[in-house]
Chains A and B, each alone.
Chain A
């Protein structure tokens, strides 16, 4: 199925929200949503890494793993397509290694370039490696925008758009949750439900609200 850019943005922010509908990135959603400013920092860090990780994994998948006409062996050495090894099964290992080293690299890079930004995002970056939203968006891009290992039309642009808007959707619900939880500190919650249980129930109610978006027709 072909998606327009606007459709993709609406779908990944609202209809298939990464946290509330796809259940990706729940650990930071529950862990870092106690204050608004730390939620904003985490959201920005996730969006940033998500975008870079999506681009890098797209490049790796198209040029190295999938046996296509873009494969590096075909382009440089002119190996016939049927002789290029199909390495798509290495997807999981390659992606997680790339993401782990990318996070390290981004951390060092930001520290060097902008100490202010590093102070804002620094503590969240190491947490991001095991954030399933990052690997999730990388795998999802392959599932959605590749057909039998071949990149479909506009798959690069679609990947970029989906990564940025998935990050935006993540930041949005993280901020909403942080706003609610700041107020919740003052509320009289039954004792056994304080902390994590009530956070889950709030997330459930938010998810019901987001379910309303699925009636939207974006065709």
Chain B
């Protein structure tokens, strides 16, 4: 596969949220407004990119310096190793966010530390970065991260538009609009993602 194809696949064909159904907890929880969605998307992309880079380099490093025997034993403890790498980057994000974006950090709440257990990140580390070279891993992480962010924005736009009549904080419908409060409450998230998934399945079926 070429580099560009590796990048593109994360955005539509293998979109982590809509296609692979990974990392749904943060998607549903923080998609109440577009600014939250962008913040969460950027944080996840950063962690994904850095951990994919480091893991790809680590695997390369071990394959250079270790004998076959040593590589086998490294292989046994690779998951805890990945988790430590990911958790370190999440801690960096946590600290940077609470220092420079306190409002965002407040509204994302416990979902920042929970990036550690986001299945996308461990899934890409285990399924892609540990098997591919550095450049491909970086492209894959960027594609997946941007795909995740776009999916988050798509859901958040729908919820914010109906739920508070705004997009990115700009009032669109004027003062008379009665917001559908349900959309920014938890049930709205489930309903919107169900609708999106249904529409995607319908589009796929029509294409065939």
**Shortest Cβ gap from B154 to chain A (Å):** 15
User: Once the chains bind, are B190 and A204 in contact (CB under 8 Å)?
Assistant: yes
User: Once the chains bind, are A211 and B186 in contact (CB under 8 Å)?
Assistant: yes
Q: Which residues of A contact B119 (CB under 8 A)?
A: 27, 130
**Shortest Cβ gap from B67 to chain A (Å):** 27
Q: Which residues of A contact B190 (CB under 8 A)?
A: 200-201, 203-204, 207
User: Once the chains bind, are B205 and A139 in contact (CB under 8 Å)?
Assistant: no
* B66-94 to A contact mask, C-beta < 8 Å, 1/0: 00000000000001100110011011001
Indicate whether A96 sits within 8 Å of B110 (C-beta atoms), given known contacts A27-B24, A131-B117, A135-B117.
no
Chain A CB within 10 Å, residue with most, of B21, B91, B187? B187
Cβ < 8 Å to B, chain A residues 51-107: 89-93, 95-97, 100-101
Choose one: A23, A30, A192; the contact of B21 (CB below 8 Å): A30
Q: Which residue of B lies closest to A134 (CB)?
A: B117
Is B61's CB within 8 Å of the partner chain A? no
User: Once the chains bind, are B25 and A96 in contact (CB under 8 Å)?
Assistant: no
Indicate whether A207 sits within 8 Å of B186 (C-beta atoms), given known contacts A96-B116, A131-B117, A135-B113.
yes
Is A4's CB within 8 Å of the partner chain B? no
Choose one: A93, A101, A191, A197; the contact of B88 (CB below 8 Å): A93
Is A172's CB within 8 Å of the partner chain B? no
Q: Which residues of A contact B84 (CB under 8 A)?
A: 93, 97
User: Once the chains bind, are A191 and B205 in contact (CB under 8 Å)?
Assistant: yes
Q: Which residues of A contact B28 (CB under 8 A)?
A: 23, 26
Q: Which residue of A lies closest to B206 (CB)?
A: A192
**Shortest Cβ gap from B188 to chain A (Å):** 7
Is A119's CB within 8 Å of the partner chain B? no
Closest 4 CB pairs of A and B: A200-B194, A204-B190, A192-B202, A204-B191
Q: Interface of B with A (CB < 8 Å)?
A: 21, 24-26, 28-29, 79-80, 83-84, 87-88, 90-91, 94-95, 109-110, 113-114, 116-119, 122, 182, 185-191, 193-195, 197-199, 201-202, 205
Question: What are 12 A-B contacts defined by CB distance under 8 Å?
Answer: A27-B24, A27-B119, A93-B87, A96-B116, A96-B117, A97-B87, A132-B118, A143-B109, A196-B21, A200-B194, A201-B190, A201-B194
Not counting A193-B198, A196-B197, a sample of 16 additional A-B residue pairs whose C-beta atoms are within 8 angstroms of each other reads A23-B28, A25-B25, A89-B95, A92-B90, A92-B113, A96-B117, A97-B83, A130-B119, A132-B25, A139-B110, A140-B110, A143-B110, A193-B194, A201-B190, A203-B194, A205-B187
